[in-house]
C-alpha cells in the first residue's frame, strides 16, 4: 500500500484552525445579527399579516414614516455636501489647524446623541440662547421638523467625511494637478477627475449616513417632543408603541425600518456588482 502524503502549502492553515475560525465567525454573525433580525420579522407577524399591515398603515405610523424619510432626505444630501467639502479641504490642501478640524469632524461620534439633542434644546429651546428671538419671529425649531433635521445632521455629520478623507488623502493631488495643467478649471477638475475617483466611497458614506439618519433615536428623541402623528419619527414611534404594549405593531414598524436599511445595503451590492469592472480599474493601480 502506498501512503500518499499531501503536504500543506506554506500559506495554508491547518484545516481544523480554518474550520473553527469560520465556525466562530458564522456563529457570532448568526447569534448577534441574523437571529435578532429574524426575531423582529417573526414578532411582527405574531398577530398575523392583517395586524402588521394595520400597524404600518395607521395614520400615526404613516406620519412617522413620512417624517423619517423627509428628515433623511434633507440631512443626508447636506452631510454629503459637507463631507465632500471637508475631505477635499483636508486631503488636497495644507493649512494651519488641519488636525484640529479632523478631530472636530469626529466629535459627533464621541458625544452621546442625547447630549447632542440637548445642545439644540439649549440653543433653540424656549429657555435657550436664541429662544426669545425665535419666538418673536414665530420660528419653531425645537419640537418641530427643523430641530429633528438639525439633530440628525449633527449625529450623522462624520459618516461621509470619515469615508472620504482617507480615500482622498491616499489618492493624493496628482490627478488634479494633471487636470489643471491640461487646462481644466476648478469645477471641471472636481467633476471630471475628483468625483469619479471617490464616487464609490461617497456612495458608501451616503448609504451609511442614510441608514443612521433614519435610525437615529437619542438626539431626535430629545428635540422632537414626541407629539404623535406630528413629531414622532419611526424609531420614536416604535418606542411609543412598545411602551403601550403594542408589541406586534412595534415590531411591524421596526420591520419596515430594518427593511429600509436592508434595501440600501442591497442597492450598494447591486451597484458594486454592476460596475465591478470600473471599480477594479480605479482601485488597481
Partner 1 sequence: MSLVIEKVQKRFADFEALRGVSLSAPDGAFLALLGPSGSGKTTLLRILGGLEHADLGHVGFAGLDWLTLTARERRAGFVFQQYALFKHMTVAKNIAFGLEVRPARNRPARAEIKRRVEELLSLVQLENLGGRYPSQLSGGQRQRVALARALAIEPRMLLLDEPFGALDAKVRKDLRAWLRALHKQLGLTTVFVTHDQEEALELGDLVAVMNEGRIEQIGTPDALRNRPATPFVAEFLETVAPPPRPYNVVALH
Q: Which residues lie near partner 1 (CB under 8 A)?
A: 174-175, 177-185, 188, 192-193, 196-197, 278, 280-282, 284-285
- Minimum distance between the CB of residue 279 and partner 1, rounded to whole angstroms? 10
- Nearest to partner 1 of 173, 226 (CB atom): 173
Instruction: State residue 139 phi and psi, 5-degree precision.
Output: -105, 125
Is residue 282 exposed (0-12), middle (13-18) or buried (19+ Cβ within 10 Å)? Answer: middle
Apex 60 CA angle, 58 and 65, nearest 5: 95
- Minimum distance between the CB of residue 178 and partner 1, rounded to whole angstroms? 4
Do 117 and 78 meet the contact criterion of CB atoms below 8 Å apart? no
- Minimum distance between the CB of residue 183 and partner 1, rounded to whole angstroms? 4
- Minimum distance between the CB of residue 55 and partner 1, rounded to whole angstroms? 46
- Nearest to partner 1 of 266, 281 (CB atom): 281
- Minimum distance between the CB of residue 86 and partner 1, rounded to whole angstroms? 23
- Nearest to partner 1 of 193, 214 (CB atom): 193
The H or E element containing residue 104 is helix 98-110
**Which cell is 203 given?**
456612495
Taking each helix axis as running N to C, give the angle between helix 145-156 and helix 113-124, from 0 to 180 degrees, rounded to the nearest 10: 140
Using DSSP's 3-state secondary structure scheme, residue 139 falls into coil
- Nearest to partner 1 of 53, 178 (CB atom): 178
Q: Can you tell me which residue has the cell 484640529?
A: 100
Measured in whole angstroms, the distance separating CA 68 from the mean position of its chain's CA atoms is 13
Euclidean distance between CA atoms 164 and 107, whole angstroms? 17
- Minimum distance between the CB of residue 259 and partner 1, rounded to whole angstroms? 33
- Nearest to partner 1 of 37, 180 (CB atom): 180
- Minimum distance between the CB of residue 38 and partner 1, rounded to whole angstroms? 40
- Nearest to partner 1 of 23, 196 (CB atom): 196
Euclidean distance between CA atoms 97 and 48, whole angstroms? 58
CA-closest candidate to residue 125, choices 114, 136, 141, 137: 141
- Minimum distance between the CB of residue 203 and partner 1, rounded to whole angstroms? 14
- Nearest to partner 1 of 11, 181 (CB atom): 181
DSSP 30: I
Taking each helix axis as running N to C, give the angle between helix 59-92 and helix 158-171, from 0 to 180 degrees, rounded to the nearest 10: 30
DSSP percent split of the chain into helix, strand, coil, nearest 5: 80, 0, 20
- Nearest to partner 1 of 125, 201 (CB atom): 201
Amino acid at each position: 500500500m502506498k501512503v500518499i502524503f499531501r503536504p500543506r502549502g506554506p500559506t495554508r492553515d491547518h484545516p481544523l484552525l480554518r474550520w473553527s475560525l469560520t465556525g466562530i465567525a458564522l456563529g457570532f454573525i448568526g447569534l448577534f445579527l441574523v437571529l435578532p433580525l429574524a426575531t423582529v420579522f417573526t414578532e411582527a407577524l405574531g398577530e398575523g399579516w392583517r395586524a402588521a399591515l394595520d400597524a404600518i398603515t395607521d395614520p400615526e405610523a404613516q406620519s412617522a414614516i413620512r417624517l423619517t424619510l423627509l428628515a433623511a432626505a434633507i440631512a443626508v444630501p447636506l452631510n454629503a455636501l459637507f463631507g465632500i467639502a471637508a475631505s477635499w479641504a483636508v486631503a488636497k490642501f495644507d493649512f494651519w489647524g488641519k488636525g484640529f478640524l479632523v478631530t472636530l469632524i469626529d466629535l459627533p461620534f464621541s458625544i452621546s446623541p442625547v447630549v447632542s439633542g440637548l445642545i439644540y434644546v439649549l440653543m433653540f429651546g424656549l429657555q435657550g440662547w436664541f429662544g426669545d428671538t425665535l419666538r418673536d419671529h414665530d420660528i419653531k425649531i425645537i419640537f418641530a421638523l427643523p430641530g429633528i433635521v438639525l439633530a440628525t445632521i449633527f449625529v450623522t455629520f462624520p459618516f461621509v467625511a470619515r469615508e472620504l478623507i482617507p480615500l482622498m488623502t491616499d489618492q493624493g493631488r496628482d490627478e488634479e494637478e494633471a487636470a489643471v495643467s491640461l487646462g481644466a478649471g476648478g469645477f471641471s477638475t472636481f467633476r471630471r477627475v475628483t468625483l469619479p475617483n471617490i464616487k464609490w466611497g461617497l456612495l458608501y458614506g451616503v448609504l451609511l449616513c442614510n441608514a443612521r439618519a433614519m435610525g437615529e433615536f437619542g438626539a431626535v428623541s430629545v428635540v422632537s417632543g414626541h407629539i404623535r402623528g406630528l413629531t414622532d419619527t419611526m424609531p420614536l414611534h416604535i418606542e411609543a408603541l412598545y411602551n403601550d404594549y403594542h408589541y406586534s405593531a412595534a415590531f411591524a414598524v421596526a420591520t419596515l425600518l430594518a427593511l429600509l436599511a436592508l434595501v440600501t445595503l442591497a442597492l450598494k451590492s447591486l451597484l458594486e456588482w454592476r460596475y465591478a469592472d470600473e471599480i477594479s480599474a480605479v482601485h488597481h493601480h
